[in-house]
A = this chain, B = another copy of it.
Amino acid sequence: MNSNKLLSRIEALLFVAGDEGMTVKQLAQYIEVEQMDIEAGLSELLTQYNEEEARGITLKQLAGTYQITTKPDVADTLKKLIENPTNQVLTSASLEVLAIIAYKQPMTRAEVEDLRGVKSERPIATLAARALVQEVGRAEGTGRAILYGTTKEFLNYFGLKNINELPPLPEQIEQDDEQPTDLFLTKFQETFTQK
């Protein structure tokens, strides 16, 4: 299959798939070529989209699938289609809960609440309702609390290829060269001797 023929088929399939997207494997199956060829085609297509300024669309890898999306530079025009842009974004409480679940999954509600120091029932319910987290099992032992994990929609919502693409968790607060425990002790003694 020549390159143009391959590219036109990839574009057509991804156009039809819309926000469901397609995996490399599915594309290879429907176009009847090797997955290697699809990967080369996708990369060529991405180059064309991004180089040609007349294109308003581009390729994005989302939640394990490839999808066609609009380019960020046309966002201002597309945002005119949105009726109420503000009510869609997550609150800081929801984002906090979601960060905890995303990095430490699976987590129970009680574990999330311990870490945040505040009740988190409602943010969790909101996140579940928006299909960003879901029940992924039950904790061992009595109570058998619900364990929460992130969903495919979570990856989609934050524009991630897969869960490993999450930005690394911010490291512990910059420490001095001294060991923090030693520091405590010294300071502790200083405090008391002064009093």
Given known pairs A16-B89, A168-B129, A170-B130, the reply for A74 and B32 (CB within 8 Å) is: no
| CB contact between A15 and one of B30, B56, B92, B125 (< 8 Å): that residue | B56
Report yes or no: A12 in contact with B125, Cβ–Cβ below 8 A: no
- A12, B53: Cβ atoms closer than 8 Å: no
In angstroms, how far is the closest chain B Cβ from the Cβ of A120?
A: 13
- Cα distance A87–B29 when bound, in Å? 12
Q: Is the CB of B173 within 8 A of A129?
A: yes
Residues of A within 8 A of B (CB): 3-5, 7-13, 15-18, 20, 22, 26, 29-32, 45, 48, 53-57, 68, 70-71, 73-74, 77-78, 80-81, 84, 87-89, 92, 122, 125-126, 128-130, 167-170, 172-174, 176-177
What are 26 A-B interface contacts by the 8 Å CB criterion?
A4-B53, A4-B54, A7-B54, A7-B56, A8-B53, A8-B56, A8-B73, A8-B74, A9-B56, A9-B74, A10-B56, A11-B56, A12-B56, A12-B77, A12-B78, A13-B77, A15-B56, A15-B57, A18-B89, A20-B92, A30-B77, A30-B84, A45-B54, A126-B170, A129-B169, A129-B172
Interface of A: prevailing SS: helix
The 9 closest A-B pairs by CB, nearest first: A12-B56, A8-B56, A11-B56, A4-B53, A7-B54, A12-B74, A12-B70, A30-B80, A129-B170
Total identical chains: 2
**Which residues of B lie under 8 Å from residue A18 when comparing CB positions?**
18, 89
Question: B77 to A9, Cβ gap below 8 A?
Answer: yes
| A20 CB → nearest B CB, Å | 5
